[in-house]
Chains A and B, each alone.
Chain A
Amino acid sequence: MKKWEDNKAWFMVIPVFLVVAVSAILPLMTVVNYSIQDIFGPDNRVFVGLEWYQEVLSDTRLHDALKRQLLFSSLVLLIEIPLGVLIAMLMPKRGWGASLSLVLVALPLLIPWNVIGTIWIIFTRPDIGLFGAAINALGVPFDHTAAPFDAWVTVLLMEVWHWTPLVVLLAYAGLQAIPEAYFQAARIDGASTWATFRYIQLPKMRGVLTIAVLLRFMDSFLIYAEPFVLTGGGPGNSTTFLSIYLVKLAVGQFDLGPAAAFSMIYFLIVLLFCWLFYQALLKVGTGDKS
């Protein structure tokens, strides 16, 4: 009897369940449908099992896109997290300087993705762009429309410029939340600046940095607008990251079956990495030394 009474609470969850079902699970099921059938029309479809998955998994272009993507996301994390923490540490803690630096740092976050692309196209142009022209004037040839490496670096710069501020804001919030007594105790204990960072600031930022790593990984792993606006994935395939390739497959070639199977794999990869990061960051710096 008691058990039934308790379980009645589940009925309360039904509205939320319905909303989530309509907004997330049903569209996802459509993708699942497409990934296991060959669909020609509403009444003309063939069940193909895992055929699309096999095809996608053995696609070398997809392998290349995945490697490119992993390298890109790793670099994004390696650059944005330390850089964000460094900038947050250098920002004033209080007064008008704090407000001003927060506004300045947050500016890139307010600009729409495609506008960011346009800004950087102009900024890095070798003829009229401030950055591109300056680099060329220094004797380093730079042209993102022709050189694959240059295009790749430009996308990375764009991403870093656009999203490091998010890491800064998170790290800054984490730093501001540390009680003053910790810094006072560290001074009394004679701790160096490095020791204060290593043993107080960094451990206290663990929570916000976990969020930063997860968000930046997911977002950069799904990057689309920046390379699309810049070169549409080129030159060659140099900036063809996973979602660029997916769109080429689905919209460009209209291969909905393989595209759907690819989407499922993509989704699982993101999910897997997020889970791994979360588990790793949850454990780091806790637990007893036996």
Chain B
Amino acid sequence: MARIELKNLAHSYHSKPKSEADYALQQMDHVWEDGQAYALLGPSGCGKTTLLNIISGLVKPSEGTVSFDGEDVSALLPQERNIAQVFQFPVIYDTMSVYDNLAFPLRNRGLAETDIRARVNEVAEMLELDDVLTRRAANLSADAKQKISLGRGLVRSDVAAILFDEPLTVIDPHLKLYLRRKLKQIHARFKLTMVYVTHDQLEALTFADKVVVMHAGQVVQIGTPQELFENPQHTFVGYFIGSPGMNILPCNMDKGLATISGSVIPVGAVHESLSGAHELGIRPEFLRLHAAAVAGTVKVTIRETEDLGSCQIARVKMGDHSLKVKLDEGDTVPTEEGYLEFPPKWIRIYADGKLVEPDRSLKSDVEIAQ
């Protein structure tokens, strides 16, 4: 177990990168604290796997260093780094039994056969593989095979961290839940540093203490699931996390008032020297839809309503912009026309995609008028 530190790290698959676009990973500094479970979340192609492979040593970064507990391991090969990695598709050694598969990483490191037996039996019991230990690994089902892959990661007691690269892709949905719970239990029991790569937000939010969101080769936010939901630091986090994602609307800012397609919306706070083109973000969960006009609401046309069983999603049109509103299952949704309320507490303002913190010392015109 170790604290993993990335310094000035950047990577390009081109031998001579010319512009930012040539980099799969933009320059970053990042620390993975000892014993934490992290999820690395982002869309396909955002650099998650590259980052993971750099930590494990499968990929040598073009710039920067990786250190475990303060020791620079950048020059070390994966087998010298003392790290475990589980891949997207189960990797098993076909000709070996399940026991030999699990023992393989330990035998390669020259452990005594008695120690190996103890470790393998412990891991097999943990993953409920003990009744198939003598079977050939090749003849097992996909999820048993992936359990073996997980087991080979867990069997080494001294690893600095275990890296998971979308390990549950090929697993049946109901087993996914079970295996994820298993991993959480293992984490709770052994306090291993775990990094779990996924593009599935549900998987990320349920697995991790902290979620690291990546977009276009950069880390855009690190936070607890709640922080990511309530306070997205970047418009990307806003619409990537949440289902449906955050409504992002281009707006014009002026003294605490946002103008969107001619409608003026008070944002509840003043952002110092903030004027001109920005974006306003609000989650569909926080919007309120009224049948009749209430003070501070904006008139919208309702395009359609989707009933998802546990909730309803209304698609509304405000000027040229479309928004989604999430309503409770029992709510009556007005047809054709409605009035949309933007609770100022949940409005976020973004400049160039990044969150702008409101200046609490300044009062908005609305607050002064009150």
Contacts and interface: CB of A to CB of B under 8 A. Distances in A.
User: Which of B77, B95, B109 has the most chain A CB atoms closer than 10 A to its own CB?
Assistant: B95
A190 B153 CA distance: 12
A289 B136 contact: yes
A289 B96 CA distance: 9
Interface in B68-110: 77-79, 83-85, 87-89, 91, 93-97, 104-105, 108-109
B289 to A, nearest CB: 48
A190 B109 contact: yes
Given A185-B149, A189-B152, A190-B109, A288 B139 contact: yes
B30 interface: no
Nearest to B82: A190
Contact of B87 (A181, A200, A290): A181
A229 to B, nearest CB: 43
B134 interface: yes
B87 A184 contact: yes
A188 B104 CA distance: 11
B55 to A, nearest CB: 11
B95 A203 contact: yes
Interface residues on B, range: 20 to 34
B138 interface: yes
A187 B58 contact: yes
Interface in A170-217: 179, 181-182, 184-185, 187-192, 195, 199-200, 203-204
Contact of B95 (A181, A185, A188, A199): A199
Contacts of A179: 89
Given A188-B79, A189-B108, A190-B109, A182 B136 contact: no
A181 B152 contact: no
B93 A200 contact: yes
Given A286-B138, A288-B136, A289-B136, A188 B89 contact: no
A181 B136 CA distance: 20
A199 B93 contact: yes
A285 interface: yes
A204 B79 contact: no
In this complex, which of B91, B104, B105, B136 has the most chain A Cβ atoms within 10 angstroms of its Cβ? B91
A287 interface: yes
A188 B83 contact: yes
Given A195-B108, A288-B134, A184 B85 contact: yes
Contacts of B83: 188
Nearest 9 CB-CB pairings of A with B: A190-B108, A185-B91, A190-B79, A189-B105, A181-B87, A199-B93, A187-B78, A285-B95, A203-B94
Given A182-B91, A184-B85, 7 more contacts: A184-B58, A187-B77, A187-B79, A191-B79, A203-B93, A287-B136, A288-B135
30 contacts: A179-B89, A181-B87, A181-B91, A182-B91, A184-B53, A184-B87, A185-B85, A188-B78, A188-B79, A188-B83, A188-B105, A189-B79, A189-B104, A189-B105, A190-B79, A191-B79, A191-B108, A195-B108, A199-B96, A200-B93, A203-B93, A203-B94, A204-B94, A285-B94, A285-B95, A288-B134, A288-B135, A288-B136, A289-B136, A290-B134
